[in-house]
Every structure is written in structure tokens, then in C-alpha cells.
Amino acid sequence: ENAVEGWKNNGGRGGGDGGGEDGDDDGDAKSEHSDEEMHELYDDIYSMLFLSYLASSSALYAFLTFALKMMFFSFLIIDLLHGNDPSNFFGAPAGISTMVRVAQFCMLPVAVAMQEDLIGSIFLFNVHYDESVQRDCPAATRFKWQMSSAMRMFDGLYSLFVNFCLLLTSNAVLGLFLNFAALAFLQTVDNVAYELAIQGYLSENIEMTAKLVSEITLPKWGRGIWGILDTVSFVLIFVVITIIWVIVTVKQIRGDFLCQTLSASFGQDLIVDTGITAQENVFSGLYEKAGTLTIGLRAIYQLRRGSDGNPRGYFAYCQRHSYWTYTVTSKQNALDLTADDICAYDLRSSPVPDSFDITDVGPSEWYYRSGGIDNPARDFNLWCSACESDDNCNGGKGTCETHVCICNEGYYGDTCEYGPSSRSGTSRIG
């Protein structure tokens, strides 16, 4: 702790009663720069690290605090990103309401501005190391200035990344604000550690190092490129996260995070007077997402195979009553569907006002229409049947095109599971 002892022997920055000639030297050091050119160190553990020898208890305390904070952030990141599909790296919900989307956008600049360590690091672009600081604190080397500044910057960027991930995964305004409030608490861990140090709850040397932080100043750069680098960096960081947010938002609106192909089995739950025999087999099968078309901000799924003029089935969302529906209509194109068509259903789910993904609705939550009365579904089942590669099509018995298995000649079924040797596999995807 020789750095602290040296400062104590000098009587602090002002020299004090024990200042003597060292106090005069300190005054000479101050005179090298005007007050307008100087900047005090930030009151945090990274400044303590800058002023401490690496083998000292103060440096160890700073390293342990940094490691603890990074561990907390890492726990959150692992929980947020673990198991996410590669096409949805952040684990963003399939869809969100307009109010949540507006709240997310408004919170983007807040997410950057609330990163105290990041903002501090950006401002320090205006400040440069000066070897004269070693007259007051011999341990304050250029290497440790760079190391402590890099650690502070990493802390701020990591915190912003965690905050941004939480923002993207929020599907409710209240949850978004609660996540920000909870993370704000974790961001102050290093500040709490500094307060414990300066108030003397730890060793005397750690306390003296914390007090030394407020006594040291470093010169600022002039008006050149370094003088505006902080503004440029802040704007650049905001632009980068905004671009990423826009990309994720566009994917949500297009329905890229939704299942692209559904398989439906109706059994005896679909009762439609179409004049078609074995009608449950007619409407059971694959339903593909109708591009980027939406009704009530939700995707539309249409029966994949052609119906030769016969009625066609659609899954869509009735915003009027807040439930998913299945509708059989003579309209052959999803573009022609209206909200009235969707709400005049043959099957419907329980009310799910916050649902954007139809596969979130379980089989027991569906009802079929019979004689003007809704009855609990008995045989209906719905699952995601999208393929990702040819291997998903019964081990290569077909090709996967736009998440749908195109079966080779002689094979058929959702995953080409039926054919000359149906024993080769009958597994479903989803």
C-alpha cells in the first residue's frame, strides 16, 4: 500500500500540516494546467484500481467487485439466450402489441443513458493520462489507467447488452419497466462497493485509496477530435442498438419468429355442411402462413393443398373477441378475408388477448361450433410442422422448401412419412 502511504505522508492533495515541500510540489503540479482543463476521477472502484498497486488489497477489492458484477450479468445473459433458435438470437417474442413496441422505442435512449459506467467511459475520451499524477500517487501508471478505463467500458457495454436483451424480450409495458428497474439495481453494485470502502467498513488502506480518488485530477484534451469523440460515441452506440431493434421489429411484424407451417387434425370436431364426405380428412393437413398478411396484427394460416373450388380453411385471429378461430369459407385467397369472415368461426380458442402465436394455445382450449353452441373440442390437435432441413423430411425422402416438406415420388404425409416403406419413420416435427 505504498501509494496510499505516500499520499498520507504528503498530507493529502492540499499538503496539510505535514505537507512541507511536498505540498509546494503539489501546487506546482496543479499550476501546469488550469482548472478548466482538469477533470476529477470518477468515484468508483475502477478509479481505486488505477491508484492502487496490483498486489494491494485495494486492487484485489476492485477486481472482486468487478467479477461479482460480471457474474450477475452473465447469469442473466445465460438465462435469456440459452436455447434460443439461431434465427431468433435474442429470444424475442413472436409478436407484441403496438403499445409495447412504442414503449420499447422510447426506452432505447434511456437504456443508453442509464449506463453510468458506459457514460463515464465515453466522457473519459476527453481526458488523457499525465505522468505528473505519479508525484501524488506512484502506483497510478499509464497501464493501469488504460486497464481500469477498459474495465469500466466493458462493464458499461455488458450492462447495456443485458438491458437491451431484456428490452427485446419484453411483451408487456409493465414487465419492460420492471426489468429496467431491477437491472438498475445490479448496475449500482460497484457504487455500493465504493461507498463501503470510503465509509471505512473495510481495511484502512482500502478506505484511504477510496478517499484518494476524490483528490486526483487529470487533464482534458483540447478541442480537436478527442473533444467530440464522446458525443460521436454516444450517438453511434444509440444508432447501433436502434438498427438492431428495427431489424428485430421488422422480423416480428413479418412473422419470421412464428411457426411457418402448421399441421391440424380435426377428427369429428369440424362440422361443416359442404357436401364432402369424410370432411375431417379434407381439412386436416398442412396450413402454411399466408406470407406477411395479418388480421388483428396476427398471422393467417391457410390450407396448403388446392381445393379445386371447394371451401378452404383458415386459421386467424378474431380481434373483436380476442380468440383464435378456424373458418371454412368459399374464399380461396387470404387477401379476400375480412374480420367478419374470421369471427364467423367453425372452431375457436379460449380468449387470449395477449397471444400472437397460435401454437401457444393448447388442444384443451379449443371449442367447436355445433347448432349455435360452442362445445369443448374432443379430437382437435394443432402443432408446428415446419421443417428446417431435408433430414426433417423422413431422413431425406423429400426436400424442405420454405419450411414445407416436398415429398419425393411415392412418398406423402406432413414429413413424407408414408410411402413404399412407411416403417422408415413416422415422427412429426413440432
Q: Given this model, what pLDDT does residue 298 score? A: 92
Instruction: Output 41 or 275, whichever has higher pLDDT.
Output: 41
CATH at residue 402:
2.10.25.10
Residue 26 lies inside a defined structural domain of this protein: yes
What is the mean predicted confidence (pLDDT) over 138-149? 93
Burial of 299 (0-12, 13-18, 19+ CB in 10 A): buried
Q: Is the pLDDT of residue 305 over 90?
A: no
Q: Is the pLDDT of residue 11 over 60?
A: no
Q: Is the pLDDT of residue 311 over 70?
A: yes
Q: Across the chain, what does the average pLDDT equal?
A: 83
Q: Given this model, what pLDDT does residue 19 score? A: 38
Q: For residues 373 and 243, state if they share a domain.
A: no
Q: For residues 33 and 149, state if they share a domain.
A: yes
Q: For residues 88 and 193, state if they share a domain.
A: yes
Dist CA 2 CA 209 (whole Å)? 11
Q: pLDDT confidence of 8, banded at 50, 70, 90?
A: low
Residue 218 lies inside a defined structural domain of this protein: yes
Between the alpha carbon of residue 407 and those of residues 141, 290, 393, the distances in Å are 69, 21, 8
Q: Given this model, what pLDDT does residue 257 score? A: 92
What is the mean predicted confidence (pLDDT) over 190-210? 92
Q: pLDDT confidence of 308, banded at 50, 70, 90?
A: low
Q: Given this model, what pLDDT does residue 13 score? A: 46
Q: Quote the crossing angle between the two packed helices 173-187 and 98-113, to the nearest 10°.
A: 10
Model pLDDT for residues 317-360, shown as the tens digit of each residue: 999 999 999 999 888 889 999 999 999 988 999 999 989 999 99
Q: Is the pLDDT of residue 12 over 70?
A: no
Residue 337 lies inside a defined structural domain of this protein: yes
The boundaries of the domain holding residue 57 are 2-254
Q: For residues 102 and 154, state if they share a domain.
A: yes
Q: For residues 185 and 285, state if they share a domain.
A: no
Q: For residues 66 and 162, state if they share a domain.
A: yes
Q: For residues 200 and 146, state if they share a domain.
A: yes
Residue 241 lies inside a defined structural domain of this protein: yes
Residue 168 lies inside a defined structural domain of this protein: yes
Q: pLDDT confidence of 56, banded at 50, 70, 90?
A: very high
Q: For residues 394 and 380, state if they share a domain.
A: no
Q: For residues 120 and 92, state if they share a domain.
A: yes
Question: Which of residues 254, 284, 311 is at a domain's end?
Answer: 254
Q: For residues 246 and 265, state if they share a domain.
A: no
Is residue 180 within 8 A of residue 166, CB to CB? The reply is yes
Q: Which amino acid is at 310?
A: N
Residue 429 lies inside a defined structural domain of this protein: no
| pTM of the predicted protein model | 0.79
Q: pLDDT confidence of 178, banded at 50, 70, 90?
A: very high
Question: Which of residues 205, 230, 254 is at a domain's end?
Answer: 254
Residue 430 lies inside a defined structural domain of this protein: no
Going by C-alpha positions, the residue among 125, 124, 137, 133 that lies closest to residue 32 is: 133
How many independent structural domains does the chain possess?
3
Dist CA 283 CA 230 (whole Å)? 61
Which backbone phi and psi does 381 adopt, to 5 degrees?
-145, 140
Question: Which of residues 254, 275, 302 is at a domain's end?
Answer: 254
Q: For residues 204 and 110, state if they share a domain.
A: yes
Model pLDDT for residues 228-272, shown as the tens digit of each residue: 777 888 899 999 999 999 999 999 999 999 998 898 888 776 665
Q: For residues 237 and 368, state if they share a domain.
A: no
- Print burial letters for 348-376: b (CB count within 10 Å at least 16), e (below 16): bbeebeebbbbeebeeebbbbbeeeeeee
Q: Given this model, what pLDDT does residue 25 score? A: 45
Q: pLDDT confidence of 223, banded at 50, 70, 90?
A: low
Q: Is the pLDDT of residue 124 over 80?
A: yes
